[in-house]
Structure 1
Amino acid sequence: MNKVALFLNGQAPKLVPNIEQYELIYCTDGAYGYLSKLNIQPDVITGDMDSLDLQLISDGIEIIPTPDQNFTDFEKALQIINDRKHQEVHVYGSSGMEHDHFLGNLTAGLKFKEKLTLLFFDDYSYYFFADNQTRLDGYEGRIISLYPFPETKNITTKGLKYPLQNEDLSIVARIGTRNRAESNEVEINFEEGNLLIFIQNK
Structure 2
Amino acid sequence: MSSHHIVRDDQEPALIIANGLACNTELLGQLLEWSPLVIVLDAAIERVLELGIKVDVLLGDFDRNFDTEYYKNNHYPIEIIHTPDQNKTDLEKAFDFLIQKGHKAANVVWATGKRADHTLNNFSTLASYRNQLKIVLYDDHSKVFLLPNSYKKWYPKNSIISLIPLGKVENICTENLFYKLQNETLELGFRTGSSNHVCEDGIITITHEKGNLLLIESFD
Residue 17 of structure 1 is matched in structure 2 by 29
Give the aligned partner of residue 44 of structure 1. Answer: 57
Task: Give the aligned partner of residue 185 of structure 1.
Answer: 203
Structure 1 residue 119, shift from structure 2 partner? 0.7
115 and 139 in structure 1: CA distance in 2 versus 1, 3 angstrom threshold:
farther
Report the identity percentage.
33
SS in 1 for 2:29: coil
Matches of 1:31 and 1:182, distance apart in 2:
40
Look up the match of 1:6.
Answer: 16
Q: Distance in 1 between matches of 2:187 and 2:152?
A: 22
Q: CA deviation at 1:23?
A: 0.9
Query: When the two structures are aligned, how many residues end up with a matched partner?
Result: 202
- For 1:122 and 1:199, the matched residues in 2 are separated by 11
Decide which of 96, 107, 111 is 1:90's aligned counterpart.
107
Kept in 1, the 8 Å contact 2:15–2:39? The answer is yes
Q: CA deviation at 1:154?
A: 0.6
Q: 1:56 Cα shift?
A: 4.1
Aligned equivalents of 1:56, 1:14: Cα separation in 2: 28
CA–CA distance in 2 between the matches of 1:33 and 1:166? 48
Q: Is the 8 A contact 1:12 1:34 kept in 2?
A: no
- Unmatched 5+ stretches in structure 1: none
Instruction: Give the alignment's TM-score, normalised by structure 2.
Output: 0.87
Is residue 157–residue 189 contact of structure 1 (8 Å, CA) maintained in 2? yes
In structure 2, list runs of 5 or more residues that go unmatched. Answer: 1-8
Distance 2:124 2:180 in 1: 27
Residues 158 and 186 in structure 1, CA contact (< 8 A), matched pair in contact too: yes
Amino acid at match of 1:53: D
Deviations along 1:121-167, whole A, 9 cap, x unmatched?
01111010000001121343221100010111011101111111111
The TM-score with structure 1 as length reference comes to 0.94
- Alpha-carbon distance in structure 1 between the residues aligned to 2:140 and 2:70: 28
